[in-house]
A and B are shown apart, each in its own frame.
Chain A
Amino acid sequence: MNLLHVVWKSLRQHLLSTVVTALSIALAGGLLMSVWAVKEQSQATFTGVNAGFDAVLGARSSKLQLVLNAIFHLEASPGNLAWSDYLDIKNNPNVQLAVPIAVGDNYLGYRLVGTLSEMFDQVEYAPGRHYRLTPGGEFFDPQRREAVVGSFVAQKLHLRRGDKFHPYHGLIYDEKNQHSETYVVVGVLEPSNTPADRVIWIPLAGIQRMTGHDPNAATDVSAVLVKLKGGSGGIGFQMDMMYNKQGNRLTFAWPIAQVMAELFDKIGWFDKILTLVSYLVALVATGSILASIYNSMNERRREIAILRALGARRRTIFGAVLLEAAVISAIGMIISFAVYGAIMGGAAGVIRTQTGVVLDVFQFNPVMLWAPAALIALGALAGIVPAIKAYRTDVAEYLVPIS
């Protein structure tokens, strides 16, 4: 029989309030940890996604729009580039690889991206990793109406090799805008956990020459994905000057990671609000510990008086109440990891659906250490007020039953 046992007995005696307050701590802790982890992990992941390229060349627009459109397959294309612009950058001696893409069509809401075979032959979307097909599949023939389907799209639309489909005009699905061309699925990509999983890849010429598209723009492309030689910062800077400062027709979005980092800077206020909300929830939850123990103190005073009469010192009683508050917090924080898993799982699912980027729900983050420590300490702190009340209990007065 030690202090922890006394505390455990008290928690069991006040089971309902113990459970409710522990759950409120669990919610607060789970929210705090997941907001923090989603923020940090998504920032690290999104700024790390570059599909294997250093820069994007596109029509004059914001760099962010170019990157979102060409790398993340989000947003609308800001406009087209002439084929000659593609050839110019392709033939630039400082460029290792330039791959054009064209967008403008979809299939049931999933975007079709026209490109060249280099995307699959030469691009390493991550160091040492090429796009790979599931067994039995093959990459499209640039001269035929063939499609390679990203893994997420294949899963959602149940597309398999040999399936046929008609593309729809525009980036948003509208059944009235169906094209007459028929495409055949020749391959399905293995999951790459990149935005490539969320699109359907077809030959560049397929987008360019789709019926209904402007025949005058039949050689235009939406953007060119660029890999610089040696990844040199100096070269990138020179090209940045050439396209963005000296020229006024095109935009050279480089480096991709910095463009994305600027996006996170812009939406930093949103993170701050979310973090503030989770801090407030944590504060309210610890307040609930204070209220629940404090409110039960009147009925506990006789027990405290009995403990004191048995020889328990005031500071022992004070410590027991603090420990009780801390244990409620600790129980809450254990449960909070389940809350964290649920919120992270949900958030990761939404982010994957919307962007193709995959967050690792189980990835360690320091918040998993400091948030529980902080909330347990805060819980113990919340126990101070009722502990003072317990400390001041008059033994002689409360030894007599209250009628």
Chain B
Amino acid sequence: MPLLEISRLKKSFVSPEGGRHDVVNVEAFSLAERAQNALSGESGSGKTTFLHLIAGILKPDSGTIRIGDREMSALSESGRDRLRATTIGYIFQTFNLLQGYTCLENVLLGMSFGPGVDRVFAQALLERVGLGNRLKHYPRQLSTGQQQRVAVARALANRPRLVLADEPTGNLDHKNASAAITLIQEACKEYGAALLLVSHDREVLGRFESTRTLEEINRASAPEPAA
């Protein structure tokens, strides 16, 4: 049984013109336990919305999202929050670290809404991403590459079964991007989490054995067929 199983997922938004605009229309998608898949997609292809739906940040209009034995799409908002906190780690393009919190506090904060705060594990994670000597540094005192590493540590804080990464290298230079992908892939393997990454960077996509384009699975972002 796959870890993530999506069926007939649809999400639309109200467009400025007044009508509804389909953003996600996925017939079927799945991801095995501990697997690492990448999705390629250009801006506006609905990739962030797709990840938000999987994470339970957004509720689909229809369809099902199953994570393990839980159906995310059937849960109430607070149920989705709970499932997200315990099962899913999220790595953002813009890192989304809280600026008033140190590296360690950012990771601890990631734990505080999940199963529980484990200070030793939080420190171990930061040591794993190479920031053992930066525990009390604030995000503004770190380089962008280091900030992304804190975000990786935070995403793994609750020992998630699934890590979602939304353009995680979008704000990094070439060298840091390559190091970040290596770190994310290795860390997910070490901690037993499956990884679903979306990016439009060919080099990043090239690091994955299994890569699909979002247009393949998302009918809403597919080009209109020629008449």
How far is it, in angstroms, between the C-alpha of A1 and the C-alpha of B49 when the chains are bound?
A: 30
Assess whether B82 is interfacial by the CB under 8 Å rule: yes
B84 within 8 A of A: yes
Q: Is the CB of B82 within 8 A of A313?
A: yes
A396 within 8 Å of B by Cβ?
yes
CB contact under 8 A between A6 and B94, given known A309-B57, A396-B57, A396-B58: no
What is the chain B residue whose CB lies nearest that of A395? Answer: B57
Output the least CB separation between B105 and chain A (Å). Answer: 7
Partner of B109, one of A6, A315, A316, A399: A6
B111 pairs with A313, CB closer than 8 A: no
B75-109 interface mask toward A, CB cutoff 8 Å, 1 = contact, 0 = none?
Answer: 00110011011100010101010101100010011
Contact between A9 and B78, CB atoms less than 8 A apart: no
A308 at the interface (CB under 8 A from B): yes
Is the Cβ of A312 less than 8 Å from the Cβ of B98? no
1/0 per residue, CB under 8 A from B, across A204-219: the answer is: 0000000000000000
Is B100 touching A9 in the complex (CB atoms < 8 A)?
yes
Q: Which of A5-29 contact B (CB under 8 A)?
A: 6, 9-10, 12-13
Asked if A311 and B85 sit within 8 Å, CB to CB, the answer is yes
Task: Give the residues in chain B near A12, CB-CB below 8 Å.
Answer: 100
Interface pair B94/A315, CB less than 8 Å apart: no
- Complex CA–CA separation, A10 to B110 (angstroms): 16
Asked if residues B113 and A9 are in contact (CB atoms below 8 Å), the reply is no
**Complex CA–CA separation, A313 to B77 (angstroms):** 8
Give the shortest distance, in Å, between B155 (CB) and chain A (any CB): 10
Inter-chain CA distance A314–B76, complex, in Å, is 12
Residue of B48, B57, B117 ringed by the most chain A CB atoms within 10 A:
B57
Q: Does A310 contact B (CB under 8 A)?
A: yes
A312 to B82, CA, bound (A): 8
List which A92-139 residues lie within 8 A (CB) of chain B. Answer: none
CB pair B98–A306 under 8 Å, yes or no, is yes
| Cβ distance B222 to chain A, nearest Cβ, rounded Å | 22
| Interface residue B200 (Cβ < 8 Å from any Cβ of A) | no
CB distance from B102 to the nearest CB of A (A): 10
Determine whether B178 belongs to the interface, using a CB cutoff of 8 Å to chain A.
no
Q: Which residues of chain A are near B112, meaning CB under 8 Å? A: 1-2, 6
Which of chain B's residues have a CB closer than 8 A to the CB of A267? none
**Knowing A311-B84, A396-B52 touch, does A13 contact B111 (C-beta < 8 A)?**
no
Q: B96 is contacted by which of A6, A9, A399 (Cβ under 8 Å)?
A: A399
A window 298-319: CB within 8 A of B: 302-303, 306-316
- Is B180 at the interface (CB under 8 A from chain A)? no
Q: B80: shortest Cβ distance to chain A, in Å?
A: 9
User: Within 8 Å of chain A (Cβ to Cβ): is B114?
Assistant: yes
Mask: chain B, 143-167; 1 = CB below 8 Å from A; 0 = not: 0000000000010001000000000
What residues of chain A lie closer than 8 Å to B49, measured between beta carbons? 396
Taking a contact as CB atoms closer than 8 A, the residue among B52, B81, B100, B108 that contacts A312 in the complex is B81
- Which of A13, A307, A308, A399 has the largest number of chain B CB atoms within 10 A? A399
A303 to B99, CA, bound (A): 9
Interface residue? B54 (CB, 8 A): no
B197 close to chain A: CB less than 8 A? no
> Is the CB of A401 closer than 8 A to any CB of chain B?
yes
B55 at the interface (CB under 8 A from A): yes
Shortest distance between the CB of A320 and any CB in chain B (Å)? 11
B180 to chain A, nearest CB (A): 19
The 0/1 profile, CB within 8 Å of B marked 1, for residues 359-403 of chain A is 000000000000000000000000000000000000110011100
Answer whether A312 and B113 are a contact pair too, CB < 8 Å, given A1-B105, A396-B52. yes
Offer 5 A-B interface pairs, CB within 8 angstroms, sorted by A: A309-B57, A310-B90, A313-B113, A314-B81, A396-B58
- 8 smallest beta-carbon distances between A and B, as pairs: A311-B85, A311-B113, A1-B108, A1-B112, A13-B100, A313-B81, A306-B96, A313-B78
